Amino acid sequence: MQLPESNKLPINLLSSCFNNTSATYKYYWLLSILQEFEIMGLTISKKSLFSRMIANSWYTVNYFRVSFGTQDLIQDTIHLLRQTEEIPIDEKLNSIFQKLVSTNNKTTERALWHFNKNVPHWFLSPWFPSTSKTDIYQASKRFDGNCLYALYDDRIEINPAWKDYFITNVRVLKDFCYWNLTLFLQIKNPNVPDIPNKLIKPAKRNNLTQQRTKFWDLVINELGLVKCIYTGEVLTVGNYVIEHFIPYNFVSHDLIWNLIPSNKKFNSSKSDKLPPLNKYFNPFYDMHKSAVEIVGALAPKNKFLEEYLTIFPDLNRFTKDNFKEVIQPLITIASNNGFEFLA
């Protein structure tokens, strides 16, 4: 993805800020600058920027458990601040930001200001190659080379020459950050699905009413009743919920092949735990096999049947072994990323 061109500004230097990147800092730094610029204008406190870096990455780390790599300290900082500030993992971004930027907790402030050691001045290194931190601070105050901002101990000041460019292209610049962040994290998490949708907390999770009424109700009505694969309790139409076999936090989709009718109370307690396959895979497969046969006979054009085709070329390939070849690696990867198993 290319940045918008300008005849007056060194866009090539801004683009090269992201060359040879070994951590997520630069992506979150520029994204935070853009967000604060829209609110505060040209003068932005460093504490606000560090707080936004954490808030912007909070959901990706805590909820979806995407790995940032061993060299990246944002993950460690987030885990520390979860405890020191007692912030829920699914807290809204702006609430996280407000809590961090206004905190007087010394542990939190030390953790935030750790990013001042390298991020603000090394981001400007394309303008000042082979230059010391002290020299970068001094040269930036003169906006040498038309650099992006001036550095001060407690703040940055955006170069006024970049103001119109930011105003005109702020949306594209944010997309540029997310695009490159996606590419970076996909390399760090090659087997984790749907990285782009794990960068921002969705405004609202989709409900599963359609999957329940248009698919699973057909199955239960035909069978008369089914038993919850987790608790063995009888489930009837109107007396069950739909749950994600592999947690939504990992797969980040609602495709029918990962959904299963469940006891309401158990679904609440399961949360984002992984089901041990030696205990639950066979009944999980049996229920789906019955569902494919029943819905295929009663409503062959049912839109949810097509979702099985995302993992099989055709429904004749829907066998226990083939299904397990899909589910087993996802469970293993999710476990490696920190998701815990049901007891």
Q: Is residue 262 pLDDT above 80, yes or no?
A: yes
pLDDT at position 91, please?
A: 87
Single-letter code of the amino acid located at 69? G
pLDDT at position 254, please?
A: 92
Q: Is residue 49 pLDDT above 90, yes or no?
A: yes
Of the candidates 125, 304, 293, 309, the one whose C-alpha atom is nearest the C-alpha of residue 211 is 304
pLDDT at position 218, please?
A: 95
- What are residue 260's DSSP bridge partners? 243
Q: What is the band of 265 on the pLDDT scale with cuts at 50, 70, 90?
A: confident
* Domain spans of the chain, in order of start: 11-198, 209-336
Q: Is residue 260 pLDDT above 90, yes or no?
A: yes
Q: What is the band of 270 on the pLDDT scale with cuts at 50, 70, 90?
A: confident
Helix/strand/coil for 229: coil
pLDDT at position 157, please?
A: 98
Q: Which residues of 98-110 are buried (b: 16+ CB within 10 A; e: fewer)?
A: ebbbebeeeebee
- What are residue 156's DSSP bridge partners? 44, 151
Q: Quick: pLDDT tens for 94-145.
A: 999 999 999 999 999 999 999 999 999 999 999 999 889 999 999 999 999 9
- Residue with more model confidence, 130 or 156: 156
CB-based contact 31:174 (threshold 8 Å): yes
DSSP string, 56-72: HHHHHHHTS-----TT-
Q: How many helices (H) and strands (E) does the chain have?
A: 15, 7
Q: Quick: pLDDT tens for 203-249.
A: 667 889 999 999 999 999 999 889 999 999 999 999 999 999 999 88
Give dist(CA 18, CA 30) in Å, integer. 10
* Predicted structure pTM score: 0.76
Q: Is residue 280 pLDDT above 80, yes or no?
A: yes
